[in-house]
Amino acid sequence: MSPPFIVFGLPRSRTAWLSRFLSYGEWHCGHEELRHARTLDDVRSWLAQPCTGTAETAAAPWWRLARHLRPDLRVVVVRRDVTDATDSLMRLGLFADRPAVERLMHRLDRKLEQISRRIPDALSVRFEDLERDEACAAVFGHCLGLPHDPDWWRYWSPVNVQCDMRAIVRYCHAFAPQLDKLARVAKHQTLALMSRAASNELDGLTFQAEPFDRWLADAERLFDAHLVAVGEAPGDWRNKNIPLLQALDDIGAMQIMTARSNGRLFGYLMSIVSPSLESPDTRQAQHFTFYADPTFRGLGLRLQRAAIEALRQRGVDEVFLRAGTRGDGPRMAPLYRRLGGEDFGQLFRIGLTEV
């Protein structure tokens, strides 16, 4: 299967024209396809299609993530003078704040330069060179892996292809919350890729029950990774019922087991501890929030065992373990069986305030 390709460029850099020029034979090149994605799974699925490419003007900040999803991704960078591109964009009459537009264009241009320098096999071309057959032939061959078709270039060369920029802006405004969430997820995943020097074999790993406030102060990095894993946006942990969680910890109704190496947090497991409604002589616990850094194999199982043993030392008689429906929840049942857990029925939910 031929690998997909992405053409990165500034707005007003002939990306719409390239999407037509590179739609040849079985190949289809989209334009601004990223705006239709809502999750990284959408991006992954799109890149899995055969004979697929796209020309994008807002995707440059996520080039690392794109190459992570498809290491064989072919990349073209179109560079245009930032002032010229800004002038062309402003002439459309869609934006009033030119300084803000210029700042955005300069940020995007820096990312384009970064792509050109950091991806060894990326092809970089100048905007003005796309008027020449030689430059277009290089782009054609790089993206499609096919011999250049001079007749195809002569057909498209005089054609002025313009996208409906007003419709694109209107669409992006309408779906701003969804696109913002995807951008935050992509940023988090990109930062995680950049810092994934964490070894699969961490030395000096320790497990301990910690006070809620200490855990909360150190866990933001893992919170964001956890939220992304279950389909939420980084930063949404601030919307959780933190005062209630703190109150439960204050009265001794919570256990937070953590995994650290050299002080750095790599996993956590929250358990709520309470008397049993079945018997006044029984104490029970239920595991709730659970996350283990996936770069460390086996951490989740070790964290679960450490938490269960600590609960045993606290005098807890029984532990309930929930396999949820998000993230790795459906895969938790085999882990619980390894811990000695028995099937205790199913958990159902009825949302009384949902339409």
- What pLDDT score was predicted for residue 197? 42
- For 255-300, write each residue's pLDDT tens digit: 999 999 878 899 999 999 999 998 999 999 999 999 998 888 889 9
Pair 323, 332: CB distance under 8 Å: yes
- What pLDDT score was predicted for residue 198? 43
Give which of 296, 289, 288 is closest to 320, Cα–Cα: 288
Q: What is the mean pLDDT of the chain?
A: 91
Checking if the pLDDT of 23 tops 90, the result is yes
The domains located in the chain, with CATH, are 5-194 (3.40.50.300), 205-338 (3.40.630.30)
Give CA–CA dist 102/347, Å, rounded. Answer: 53
- What pLDDT score was predicted for residue 195? 61
Instruction: Report pTM.
Output: 0.65
- What pLDDT score was predicted for residue 314? 92
Give CA–CA dist 60/112, Å, rounded. Answer: 6
- For 325-335, write each residue's pLDDT tens digit: 888 888 888 88
Range in 78-82, 175-179, 185-189, 265-269 with the lowest mean pLDDT: 185-189
Mean pLDDT of the 157-185 span:
94
- For 223-263, write each residue's pLDDT tens digit: 998 998 888 889 888 999 999 999 999 999 999 999 998 78
Mean pLDDT of the 179-194 span:
86
Give CA–CA dist 166/171, Å, rounded. Answer: 9
Q: What percent of the chain has pLDDT over 70?
A: 96
Give which of 249, 192, 247, 248 is closest to 222, Cα–Cα: 192
The SS3 assignment for 206 reads strand
Range in 28-37, 179-188, 339-348 with the lowest mean pLDDT: 339-348
- What pLDDT score was predicted for residue 200? 44
Cβ neighbours of residue 334 closer than 8 Å, sequence gap 6 or more: none
